[in-house]
Amino acid sequence: MEPVSIDTTKPHAAAGGPEPAADPASDHERIKREWADEYPEGAELYCAVLSSTDFDPEYGEQYPDGTTLAIRRLAHRPSPGWIRRHAHLSDLERTFALIEQHASQRALDILDSLTEKAWDAFVQAWAVDGGLVDTGKSTRSARR
């Protein structure tokens, strides 16, 4: 099962994922409270609900009841300067650098335990939400 993303202002499902819970706004508030100690006050968080099947049984921690995940939202695309300073990295290494810049250690530990499919789905949905990946439709208007 792919992670379900809960937008901070408007409920939506991650690409190809199941529909969000009946009241995603209250789920999002619950997840924000759960992760409040991990990030600076007022940080916009990108949240997901992960099922037990999203975790790699051989290489990761197991969450038999699933868990939640929150990382800071991308405020905007990286600046040209950031891209220049990281130009020597592969696309995957730049993705890791961006995630490490936006995720708490607890979030990184959870991300490191995901299956490849769940990791790809979460990172893709996070990148689309932050405008890093263009899907042909505007994600910015839903966040204003």
Average pLDDT, 10 consecutive residues per value, the chain (144 residues): 38 38 74 94 92 92 93 88 91 92 96 94 91 65 42
Nearest-Å Rg of the Cα atoms of the chain is: 15
- For 111, the 3-state DSSP assignment is helix
Distance CA 27, CA 93 (A): 32
Tell me how many domains the chain contains. 1
Nearby residues of 67 by Cβ (< 8 Å), 6 or more positions away: 50, 110
pLDDT for the residue 18: 43
pLDDT for the residue 136: 63
Closest of 10, 16, 132 to residue 77, by C-alpha: 132
Whole domain around residue 105: which residue ranges?
4-143
pLDDT for the residue 23: 67
Distance CA 108, CA 126 (A): 14
- The model's pTM: 0.75
Q: Quickly list DSSP for 63-75.
A: -TT-EEEEEEPP-
